[in-house]
Structures are given as C-alpha cells and as structure tokens.
Amino acid sequence: MVKIIKINPEHLDIEKIKEIGKQLRSGKIVVFPTDTVYGIGCDAYNIEAIKKIYKIKNRKMNKGMPVLISSIDKLHNFVITNETADILIQKFWPGQLTIILPKVVKAPEILTGGSSSIAVRQPNNPITISIAKEVECGGIVGTSANLSGNKEPITIKEAINQLGDEVDIYIDGGTSHKKIPSTIIDLTSKPLKLIRKGPISFEDIKDTIKNELDQ
C-alpha cells in the first residue's frame, strides 16, 4: 500500500520531516516535491538505495544521478567548484539551475554514470531542503519521479501513477510551481555547455558570467 505524507511547504511539520529523515538514513526511497517537478531520491551516499532508484525508474546505469543539496556548504561532499560555478551559484541558487562539476574523491561513483562529474543543485523548496538536511552528507538524489522516458510529474498523483508501491514514502507538497525540469549546464569543460533547456535561459546564464567577469 502506498504511504503518503502530506506536508505544507509554507508551514513545515518538523515531526514529519524528522520521520522522513529517519527513513532516508535507513535507506528508504522517497518521492518529494521540488521547485521544478516531483523528484525521487534517497541519501546520496547510500549506494544500495541509489541502485534501487535506477531499478524503480528503469534508468540506464550510464546516466548519472543528480544531487539536491541542503546548503552550499555541503557542495564539498560532492563536487569541486570553480569561479564560474561560484558566480552562477550566487546568482541562481536556490533555484532551477543544475550544474555539472568535477566529482570529489569521496562521493559515490554510482552518482556519475561512469563519468568523473556529478550534477548538483540547491532547490528553492523548503521541503526538499529540510529533508536533505536530515542526512549526514547534506544531499539527496534528486532525479525526476517518473519512469525513464515518461513525462515528469508535477503532482503526487502523477508520480504514484508511474512508480506505484515501489516507493517507500510519497510526500505530497502540492502542485509543483515551475512544472518543467531544471536547466542543466556542464562546467567540466570550456566553453560551458547547455545540456537541458529549462526555466533559466542559457542566454541569461552566459550574460551573468560575462557581466561578472568583465567587472
């Protein structure tokens, strides 16, 4: 039977957050709202739980798993930043920009999809940030809560219809605001590359970098 926990993002229930955190730390799989679409995740340092998500989504292992972090000071658990990344983080986080950066040695290899980098984002959603704070590494896997190739869900009902009872906990936080996945850019090579279009335009990203570096 599907377990649903309803949380109001404007009035967080701390007891519910603590219970979800306990489940995440024990390796459970959770579906949750973000500021883009609904995501499916787990403790980003729990390799067995990450494997479960690949299986649930029917996702190819050569496709890395993005990480949603609770705060910028948790980035060192996953990636190595640079000046360009710092500029974009200051401008667009928390928000709808995912940045691919070089992986740090201690982060799980399974997050990379066989590369040497990890996609990271600090989402602008209090529920997501609060549950990410509950795990020691400060980050949760944050891939969309759909079967690979299907439409990304913007409501908990849409997520349940695709993933069913293979998920341990569903968090109902209402309809996602942006309704489309985040913009993804790759900063592991120069010039930077647009990997996926999203709410933040590539032109705005390039203008931000140029304006800051020209000062």
Does position 210 have pLDDT exceeding 90, yes or no?
Answer: no
- Per residue in 22-54, pLDDT (tens digit) is 999 999 999 999 999 999 999 999 999 999 999
From 196, 73, 61, select the one nearest 115 (Cα to Cα). Answer: 61
Residues 6+ apart with CB under 8 A from 161: 153
CA distance 117 to 111: 8
Return the SS3 of 126: helix
- Per residue in 151-190, pLDDT (tens digit) is 999 999 999 999 999 999 999 999 987 889 999 999 998 8
Average model confidence (pLDDT) for the chain? 96
Q: What is the pTM of this model?
A: 0.95
For the chain, list the domains and their CATH numbers.
4-214 (3.90.870.10)
User: What does the DSSP assignment read for 99-113?
Assistant: EEEEBPTTS-GGGTT
What pLDDT was estimated at residue 56?
98
